[in-house]
Amino acid sequence: MHRRSVLAAGGAAGAALIAGCTGGGETEPATDDKNVESGMFRLLVTDLPADIGDFDSLEVTLDEARVFPGEEEEEEEDDEEDDEDGENGGEETAETDDENSDEDVENGEEDEEEADDEESEEDDDQDFFYIDLDSATVDLTQVVGDKAMAVFEGELDAGKYSKVELYAEDIVGMVDGEEVDVKIPSGKLQIVHGFEVRAEETTTFVFDIHVVRKGNGGYNLRPVISGSGVNGEDVDVEEVDDEDEEDDEADEGDGDNQDTESGSDGADEDSSSDS
């Protein structure tokens, strides 16, 4: 029987409530084990520059996340295998990917979705922490590059973790004033990247997403492993919030008003000179 924990956030950075779920779907009270240490876990979202420049805004409303415990030894073995594969065929793979990237985007999505469906069934047999993101919304146009926004903050059992998944309940993308189709091909975004939550410390995990244009005019959201990880260790981002976005918009508005006023003053001076 597999035990799952449920973390329900009171807001994007609210306190967490924890309950346990059994593999059969029955909910039971969380164990009040004082021997289990915990740390503070924060989840941030950022956007790798790709086709985000097409958008006036791209608001992603997040429904939930799942965080999977994992052992460091397993991660190291996987890293060694990846390193060997990279040494033996890295250049050839890169060249092939460049030549066939467009074809992969068009024809490979069904295979990717089938693989993700199989992986989801395997995930259901694993222990994980479920996090209610309480419909936290991030405008990806405001967190491009080294900027990121928090969508969750709460306590998590101390230990090693191997994977984070994000699920969106709504995506609204605007390009040139019109709404465009933006999808997550497999229904979820996942990053397989080992990290550790230390007891009585804060761990801030950055989840990097980018949006890519499809051949049919729509867009897909995809996770970016290379830009994801623990802030200050694997990556370095600047955290922003909704107030920062409002301040930036207000500053832009003030700048436009000042330009208009300056233009009017100049016109008045010219009129006086002519007189």
Neighbour count for residue 232 (Cβ, 10 Å): 11
pLDDT band at 175 (very low <50, low <70, confident <90, very high): very high
SS (H, E, C) the chain: CCCEEEEEECCCCCCEEEEEECCCCCEECCCCCCCCCEEEEEEEEEECCCCHHHCCEEEEEEEEEEEEECCHHHHHHHHHHHHHHHHHHHHHHHHHHHHHHHHHHHHCHHHHHHHHHHHHHHHCCCCCEEEEEEEEEEEHHHCECCEEEEEEEEEEECEEEEEEEEEEEEEEEEECCEEECEECCCCCEEEEEEEEECCCCEEEEEEEEEEEECCCCCEEEEECHHHCEEECCCECCEEECHHHHHHHHHHHHHHHHHHHHHHHHHHHHHHHHHC
pLDDT at 105 over 70: no
Give domain limits for the chain.
4-240, 242-275
The predicted-structure confidence for 53-103, as pLDDT tens digits, reads as follows 999 999 999 999 999 998 644 444 444 444 444 444 434 433 334 334 444
Q: What are residue 173's DSSP bridge partners?
A: 58, 180
Confidence band (pLDDT; 50, 70, 90) for 158?
very high
Largest CA distance in the chain: 91
Report d(CA 101, CA 103) in Å as an integer.
5
Reading the block at residue 148, the tokens are 């990121």
Distance CA 117, CA 101 (A): 23
pTM: 0.68
* Sign for the pseudo-dihedral over CA of 26, 32, 36, 39: positive
Has residue 106 got a pLDDT over 70? Answer: no
The backbone torsions φ and ψ at residue 37, rounded to the nearest 5 degrees and listed phi first, read -85, 155
Distance between CA atoms of residues 43 and 229, nearest Å = 10
Residues 212 and 119: beta-carbon distance below 8 Å:
no
Per-residue model confidence (pLDDT) at position 252: 54
Q: Is it the case that residue 124 has pLDDT exceeding 60?
A: no
Using CA atoms of 205, 37, 160, 167 in order, give the dihedral in degrees to the nearest 10. Answer: -50
